[in-house]
Amino acid sequence: MIVEYLPSIAALTVIQLLGVMSPGPDFAVVVRNSLIYTRRIGVLTAIGVSVGILVHLAYILLGLGVVIAKTAWLFAVLKYLGAGYLLYIGIKGVLAKKQPANYENTTDSLKELSSFKAITTGFLTNVVNPKAMLFFLSLISAFIPGKPTIIIGIYGVIIFSSTMMWFLFVAMCFSNKRLRSFFKDFQYLIERITGGLLILLGLKMLFVSAES
């Protein structure tokens, strides 16, 4: 049975990869945490983003995605929550101050983030993003109808695993010791730049509509 659905599985995989690889809040947060903290923090942030994907998949498969998209006030609540969260972490980044250099340890970050905070940062960045909801809603609406349960399960595994692999790859790349050592003296600038980017993404999110 699976063989006859291979073309649709391949198509969904390509579309999902293109979607998840396009720069957005998830990418910015994973890059930020990977550069200014440690590899472990970057990886945990990537895991948080991937778990957020499961939330989108769950409520969309339950039919709640359509309800949210077609209920103006519900969509507005999600949109303002998402924008507010991005603005919050963005402003914190823009206000970051330069830390005194620690030349005794040139590879570790000057400060650490808790594992819980790293996971929740990635999770919340993804789960309150209405554009992510709309993307998965359109993706699932195009591929799910009429498909057997096992195929729907395969779709879900592909969406989750491809998201996880991509953001783990991003975290591993940007947490490279040489790269982090090079940017060590500019951590506050990285925070300010990524903070500014998150503010712009938050402001842009305010103009997202259910029809976009």
Of 100 and 144, more confident: 144
211 lies in some domain: no
**DSSP of 101-144:** P-TT-SSS-SS---HHHHHHHHHHHHHT-HHHHHHHHHHHHHH-
- Say which residue the tokens 């994907």 belong to: 53
4 lies in some domain: no
pLDDT of residue 165: 95
Segment holding 195, helix H or strand E: helix 187-205
Of 33 and 110, more confident: 33
Apex 108 CA angle, 105 and 113, nearest 5: 135
Name the residue among 52, 110, 102 with its Cα closest to residue 78.
Answer: 52
Q: What is the pLDDT of residues 114-167, one digit of tens each?
A: 899 999 999 999 998 888 888 888 888 888 877 888 888 898 999 999 999 999
Within 10 Å of residue 179's Cβ, how many Cβ atoms?
Answer: 13
Domain extent for 43: 37-99+107-205
Whole-number average pLDDT of the chain? 84
71 lies in some domain: yes
- Say which residue the tokens 């507005």 belong to: 76
Task: Domain count for the chain, please give it.
Answer: 1
Write b or e for each residue in 138-152: b if 16 or more Cβ atoms lie within 10 A of its Cβ, otherwise e. ebbeebeeeeeeebe
pLDDT of residue 107: 44
51 lies in some domain: yes
170 lies in some domain: yes
Of 109 and 62, more confident: 62
pLDDT of residue 108: 47
73 lies in some domain: yes
18 lies in some domain: no
